């Protein structure tokens, strides 16, 4: 069982993603923006992975910013980005090393497969 932080600005999607990942057998913690996500990551709890939306409320690339800062706190943290928007080369360039990406809308099977391959790294 892994501990996964899910950061998603849409509360319903966050809950549903949390429910699915919980069903896959993992422990989940939910956050809705960059500040909340960082506060949780700075707590003493250890996390195996961060699953974050790229567009977070008013922060257009909030997920990228969060992932970059999260790696400073947890250098071994696995990162899985998601967004429904187009992924440009300039956006890919700011992804942290070794991160994964899952396009929205994703099915439960796609989410499970992405989480499994993320945790296998």
Partner 1 sequence: MTDLPASDIVETVPSALIVLDRNLCIRSANRAFYQTFRTSRGETEGTLIYDLGNRQWDIPALRTLLESVIPHRASVEGFEVEHDFPTIGQRTMLVNARKIFRPGDHAGFILLAIEDVSEERVARKESRRNSLLVQSIVDTIRDPLVVLEDDMTVVTASRAFLTMFGITEAEASGRRVAELGQHQWDVPALRKLMEKVLPENKPFENFEIEEEFPGLGRRVFNLNARKISQPGNNAHRMLLVFEDITDRKQRERDAVSLSNEVSHRIKNNLQLIVGLIAYEAKWTAEPCVQGYRAMQSRIGAIAQLYDLISQSSHGHVVAVDDYLREIAKTITVSLLGDTSDIKIEVKAEPLEIDADRAVPFGLLVNELATNAIKHAFPNGTGTVILSVAPVDGAFELSVADNGVGTSPEISAKKSERRGSDYVAIFVRQLGGSVVPSPAGGTGTTVTIRLPLLLVARDSAPHQAA
Helix intervals (H) in 24-121: 34-41, 62-73, 89-92, 108-119
Residue 20: its H or E element: helix 11-23
Stretch that binds partner 1, among 15-23, 31-39, 40-48, 71-79 (CB under 8 A): 15-23
Cβ closer to partner 1: 45 or 110?
A: 110
Helix axes 62-73, 34-41, angle to 10 degrees: 10
CB of 21 to partner 1, least distance (A): 12
Query: If you ran DSSP here, which 8-state letter would residue 7 be given?
Result: E
CB of 16 to partner 1, least distance (A): 4
Stretch that binds partner 1, among 30-38, 39-47, 63-71, 105-113 (CB under 8 A): 105-113
CB of 87 to partner 1, least distance (A): 9
């Amino acid at each position: 069982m892994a501990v996964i932080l899910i950061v998603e600005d849409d509360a319903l999607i966050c809950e549903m993603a949390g429910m699915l990942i919980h069903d896959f057998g993992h422990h989940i913690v939910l956050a809705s923006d960059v500040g909340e996500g960082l506060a949780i990551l700075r707590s003493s709890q250890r996390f195996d992975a961060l699953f974050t939306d790229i567009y977070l409320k008013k922060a257009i690339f909030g997920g990228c910013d969060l992932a970059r800062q999260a790696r400073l706190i947890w250098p071994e943290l696995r990162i899985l980005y998601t967004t429904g928007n187009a992924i440009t080369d300039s956006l890919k360039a700011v992804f942290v090393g070794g991160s994964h990406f899952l396009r929205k809308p994703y099915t439960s099977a796609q989410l499970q497969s992405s989480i499994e391959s993320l945790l296998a790294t």
